Every structure is written in structure tokens, then in C-alpha cells.
Structure 1
């Protein structure tokens, strides 16, 4: 959306007042409709996971921060679920009396806290490291990038397979412009009926 907004502003230097009014209304309409799309979890995560866009696909810094929080949260959940499926070593040689049951409860609680903290820390590190990398050029293939980086960012790679099925760049624009096209077609039909 940010790229579209910039392109429209650059092209609108020498236009008539009627065209300027039409452009302002179009931009306002696009901003209103894209604002709701910008809060959809799948679209924001897909935009961040597209190494050509990352944070460049958002209009405001607040939306970027919200999307990054969402990505970190999704990544934390993925890490926690994958760690939960791993077997945990148990202390050998413990007796089964009441005092050892108390120690087992304490050990389990500590393990859960440690696991939760590690998952969050790992997610933050992986996401931040990915976001500071230089964006890919527009013509480069994001799926090829993720295939090459699957050992560097294993959890984000897994998430990219799930989220990049919805193109970060075309879905919001296509939706807005198809609505705009229907609206202008309706106005044209109404205008033709008046004549």
C-alpha cells in the first residue's frame, strides 16, 4: 500500500483540479479499505514474510509494530509447540514417595517456565535477525529465498510455507480496485440512463 500511495503521489504532479479531486477521493477510499485489510493477521504476516517487502509494505509505523508483534507471537507459538513435542529427560533414580512428587511438580513448573521463556526469546531473535537483513530485489523469488534460508530461520521458513500462499502485494490492491471498478461501472450505468 505504501508503494502504491507513493506512486500515485509522484504521478499527480501536473494534473487538473478535477483530476486532483478524483485522486484525493480515490486515495481516501483506498486508505479506508486498506486500513481494514492491514489489520488482518494473515495478510500482515504474509507481507512481513515476503523478503521483498518486509516492513516496507505498511503505511504507518504503528501497523509495522503491530505486525511484527503478531509475527513474533506466531513464531513463539510454533517454537513452543515444536518443543512441547520433544521428550523431556526425567531425573533417574528418584523414589516415588510424597517428597519426590513435590520435587517433580517443582521441576515441571520450572521446565514449563524455562520452555516458555526460551520460545519467546528464540522467536524474538529469529524475527529481528530476519528483519534487519536487506530486502530482496523486486524480481527475486521469495520462495527461493526461503528455501536457501531454511536452516538459518527454521521457524520462519515453516511459517513462510503457510503464509506466503496469499500474495502480500496484490490481494489488497486487487480487492480495492475491483470495488472501485464496480463503483465506477454503476455510476456510468446511472449516467447513461439519465441521458
Structure 2
């Protein structure tokens, strides 16, 4: 029954992918409770009705070391299995050099490092100035995890002080309450000083925008690639604003490190052709998201070339025969009664090139008003596909970029439920089929 259900589900996925113009892939690796390695691959594409579709291509066992050769063989096997090798627009992975080298050097696919992971690396590097306080906080949290009595007293304290929603682990405690909080229990570890409580409070405000961006770009129900440029600029702007505030010197150092990390790791993001075109195709941003005018102009030129290519294909396939019919029906006899009519028809035939026509359509799109950022860009394209028909074709091919490999992490979370401590003897081949059915029945 499992094999029959898997085969039927796989046929549906293959059929769904056959209509996809291009596919954005994400991949990541994971080790199960049974100490077995798995590699997950997800695919994301824009359907004919302009909705973002996501499918699990495979969560298969990965034997041996995670070398570039092994990762490459597994990746190629998966894409070949679904006939996608020539449809890959972009591959999103972590920043490990083994997979990056395999993709760029061998497959010649475009690669994008997981934005969420890169952002996390920036934050972790900045928090090296917070290690001593962080360790104290971890010790306190660990104490509450181990002591039921202390947790009970903390909850009672919050209730007695009018807390509307009590918390087992308090992430932010105002300085004015720190002394009362500390005398709740007596344990053998260092307490946080008033200054350290204040730094913790400040960092909650500093890191909140980073958490928001990570959450925003980790979604898979809508394309996130078009938001990379504007949200990176947003984080830099927030950091600049935070530096104007009278924060503690430790907090200011962390903000400066965050700013440096953003500039170092994302300095070239606007020059990415894939991200640039996706941003331009988003009716919420268009060229307004770019800080560099050069990058915006390059993205526009790239879009014009893509639209011109679509127009050239259309003329060859759809209008070539009609043009030939028109030209053969025109008479050259000066005494023909159709002479005047044929002369008028000939003079009114379009003389422009696909390139010039593409420039006109792209400029009309650029001149149209941007929509609210709360609106769905794909819903806008669904409604306006007949106004900008050739750009709409490009949208189906270039607007399916997801900015993180979080979809694979969600796969591993579900796989971890299947391979729990009491089911570690479950064969990998069955695990692959079970998670495939679980994810693709949800996404169908």
C-alpha cells in the first residue's frame, strides 16, 4: 500500500512540474536519531494561474561523508528523477564550501546562500561582545529548567505582581524589577547586575528587526527572493538609527558589528542578476528597492532582454505565417483594383524590433503605480497578465526564488517526528516514502 501510494503521489508531482517553466531548488542535509544522513530537496515554481507552488522532490538517505561528489550525485539523481536538470533557475543552500563548489563548478547552476543562515552568522559574530552576560543568562535559564520549585515561585511572583500572561522563561526583565527578581531564590551562580539587565533589554530592541527579517524571508507560501534587497537596506537603516540612541557601550559595539557584517556579507546582493530581476518584477518595489542606480539599470536591461526574447519567440511561432500570408497576398500590378488597399496594408505593418517593443512594455510597467507591500504580487500579476503579457511570461520563469533553505529544515522537523527514539529501526526507504507522501499531500 505504501509503495502504491508513493507511486501515485510521485506521478502527480511529475505532472505538476511538467508545466513549470523553471524551478528554484533548496537543499540541506540532516542526521536522524538513528544516526543516518539524509538530504532533502524542495522545488518551488510559479504555476499558470500565478501562485507559488512548493513540492518535496526527495528526502533520501545520504551514505558516506558529505563530500562535494556525494552531494552532487544525490542532487543530480533527484533532479533527473523529476526531469528538472534543465529547468533549475537557482539553488539555495547553506554556505558550506563543499556544496557551493559542487554547484558552481560542475553543474553550472546559479547558487544563492541561505539568507537566514547568513543573517544568523552576522548576529552570532556580533554577540561575541556579549558572551559573559550571555553565559550568565544561560545559567539562570538552565536553573529554571532543572528546578520545579524555582519555576513555581517565579510564576507565583509574576501573578502576584499583576502579570497578565505569566512566562516560564523571562526574556526581558526591566531594571527596576531586577533586585526583587534576584531575591526570589538563592543559588550558586553569578547574578546579573543592573547594567547587564539594561544591556539585555537594549539588545531585545536591537535584535528584534533581525528576527522579523529572518521570519519574513523564511516563508514558502510566497516568493521571498524579491524582498532580499529591500530588507537588507531596511536592516542597515535600522542599525544607523539605533546608533543615534544613547545605548550602553557594549550595545553600541554590537550594533556596529551588525552593520559591518551586513555590509560585508550582502555588499554585492544588488548586483545579483537573479535577485535583481525578481525585485524589479515585484510590483511592490520595482526599481525603488535599489540603492545603486547602476544595479537598477542593469536589472532593467536584463528584464528588457528577457521580454524581447519572449517577443521574438512569439513572432516566430505565431505571426511568421500570417506575415508571409500578407506579403504574398499583396499585388504589384499597378492596374489592380486592390492596389490602393494593398499599399495601405503594407505601410501599416509593424516595423519595430522585439527589442524596441520590449522597451515599450517594460517602461509601461515601470511607469505604473507600485502597489501596497501588504498586497500579493502574484495576485497582481494574475490580474494584469494581459496588460503586460510578455513580462508576465518572464514572471513565471524568474519570480519563484525563495531566499532561504528553511523549507528543507521544515522537512527535517517532520522527519524527526517519524524517526523518533522508539522508531529508529524504521528503514530509510520507508522514511523517504512517508515524508514524501506527508509533504506532497499537504501541498497538493
Tell me the TM-score normalised to structure 2 length: 0.31
Deviation at 1:66, TM superposition (A): 1.3
Residue 13 of structure 2 corresponds to residue 13 of structure 1: no
Q: More displaced, 15-24 or 134-143?
A: 15-24
Flag the structure with more relative contact order, 1 or 2, with Cα contacts below 8 A and sequence separation at least 6. Answer: 1
Aligned-partner Cα distance in 1 for 2:328–2:367: 44
Structure 2 counterpart SS, 1:35: coil
Q: 2:126 matched to 1:126?
A: no
Q: Distance in 1 between matches of 2:300 and 2:264?
A: 22
Aligned-pair Cα RMSD in Å: 2.5
- Contiguous gaps of at least 5 residues in structure 1: 94-113, 176-195
Kindly indicate whether the alpha-carbon contact (under 8 Å) linking 2:242 and 2:255 is maintained by their aligned counterparts in 1: no
Aligned equivalents of 2:308, 2:364: Cα separation in 1: 15
Give me the whole-angstrom Cα distance separating, in 2, the residues matched to 1:127 and 1:92.
Answer: 33
Cα 1:31–1:77, aligned 2, differ >3 Å: closer, same or farther? Answer: farther
Question: In structure 2, what is the Cα distance between the partners aligned to 1:139 and 1:158?
Answer: 24
Q: Is the 8 A contact 1:72 1:123 kept in 2?
A: yes
CA distance in 2, matches of 1:82, 1:3: 40
Going from structure 1 to structure 2, the CA distance change for 1:41 and 1:80 (only over 3 Å counts) comes to: same
Q: For residues 307 and 265 of structure 2, what CA distance do their matches in structure 1 show?
A: 28
For residues 71-82 of structure 1, what are the structure 2 equivalents within 5 Å? 71-82=303-314
Which of the residues 42, 45, 50 maps onto 2:277?
Answer: 45
Match of 1:146 in 2: 381
After superposition, the C-alpha distances for 1:76-100 in whole angstroms (9 at most, x for unaligned) are 112112222232433438xxxxxxx
d(CA) in 1 for partners of 2:249 and 2:292?
28
Richer in helix (by share): 1
Partners of 1:3 and 1:33 in 2: how far apart? Answer: 15
CA-CA distance at 1:119 after TM superposition:
0.9
In structure 2, relative to structure 1, the CA distance for the partners of 1:140 and 1:62 (3 Å cut) is same
Q: Distance in 1 between matches of 2:390 and 2:328?
A: 32
Contact 2:280 2:299 in 1 (8 A): yes
Residues 144-170 of structure 1, C-alpha deviation per residue, up to 9 Å, x if partnerless? 100111111001111112222115xxx
Match of 2:256 in 1: 24
SS in 2 for 1:85: helix
From 284, 291, 294, give the equivalent of 1:62: 294
Match of 1:92 in 2: 328
Higher-strand-fraction structure:
2
Q: Note if contact 2:285-2:370 (Cα within 8 Å) is conserved in structure 1.
A: yes
Secondary structure at the residue paired with 2:353?
A: helix
Aligned partners of 2:310, 2:267: CA distance in 1, in Å? 27
Structure 2: gaps (5+ residues): 1-231, 330-349, 406-444
